[in-house]
Structure 1
Amino acid sequence: MDISSLIPALGGGILIGLAAIGLMLFNGRIAGISGIVGGIFPFKSNDTGWRVIFLVGLVLSPFLYRIFIGQITEINFDTSLPLLALGGVLVGVGTQLGSGCTSGHGVCGISRLSIRSITATLIFMATAALTVFLIRHVLGA
């Protein structure tokens, strides 16, 4: 891996930070995806539009990247679809238990020096590391 391969990641991180700052400055909202998605239903006419626009921007971003920058790196998962689905369900449960997701706590909460977010992010990261260790090195999956 050379330094030039890190440039897209750095650019992505900067864009995430700018999006979080923009949402806070112009809308007074925290850019936690689980909270944004969770707030769409039930529909509230005065609070749904910005959420939908934010999510549409998330979905369109890879397409815009490809148009303006070039080739998108192909991502391949070497695991089964049921295991990926289980992971998605567990993430959803975790966002409810943790009162937010990694983007809300990790990007926005830590930048606000929220003790709750710092604690949640440490737990997210430790759990992720333990899960990878167990699945890859203990279970051999």
Structure 2
Amino acid sequence: MTEFTPFMSLAGGALIGLAAVLLMALHGRIAGISGIVGGIVPPLAADWGWRAAFLAGAIAAPALIIALTGHKIAFSSPAATPWLIVGGLIVGVGVTIGAGCTSGHGVCGIARLSVRSLAATLTFMLTTGVTVYVVRHIAGGL
């Protein structure tokens, strides 16, 4: 389990919201990570520059927080690496089928009152809950 940190969580959520609003206001684009990453994987999108800058900021920001505050979040996973890879591939398929990811649909789409994004978000949240229940209580965990 991780320790809940209300201030850091609130600050992180506010920064995510601010980044989403600024990206929409300045570039007219939705801050969906799968779409942003898709534009920097060859063949490069014509607007790959802002995509690369956005991803660089997403990587650099936690490093900056650690450097400024010394606050590190411990992370460990009981799942073996091959299961993590399989899970990542399944998520990639889901992102493709769902035409977007949790950040695109869940953060930006719901904020825009998109019915499609609301349906997508409900679908992946329910699927996550069912998956956790099945893995922990029926399959006996990993």
TM-score by length of 1: 0.93
For 1:73 and 1:36, locate their aligned partners in 2 and report how far apart those are by CA, in whole Å: 25
Which residue in 1 is equivalent to 2:55? 55
Aligned CA RMSD, in angstroms, stands at: 1.1
Structure 2: give runs of 5+ residues left out of the alignment.
none
- Identical-residue share of aligned pairs (%): 52
Which residue in 2 is equivalent to 1:129? 129
For 2:8 and 2:133, locate their aligned partners in 1 and report how far apart those are by CA, in whole Å: 27
Which residue in 2 is equivalent to 1:104? 104
Which residue in 1 is equivalent to 2:117? 117
SS at match of 1:122: helix
Which residue in 2 is equivalent to 1:75? 75
How far 1:12 sits from its partner (Å)? 0.7
For 1:61 and 1:140, locate their aligned partners in 2 and report how far apart those are by CA, in whole Å: 37
Which residue in 1 is equivalent to 2:17? 17
CA contact (8 A) 1:105 1:121 kept: yes
Structure 1: give runs of 5+ residues left out of the alignment.
none
CA contact (8 A) 1:62 1:72 kept: no
The structure 1 segments of at least 4 consecutive aligned residues displaced by more than 4 Å after TM superposition are none
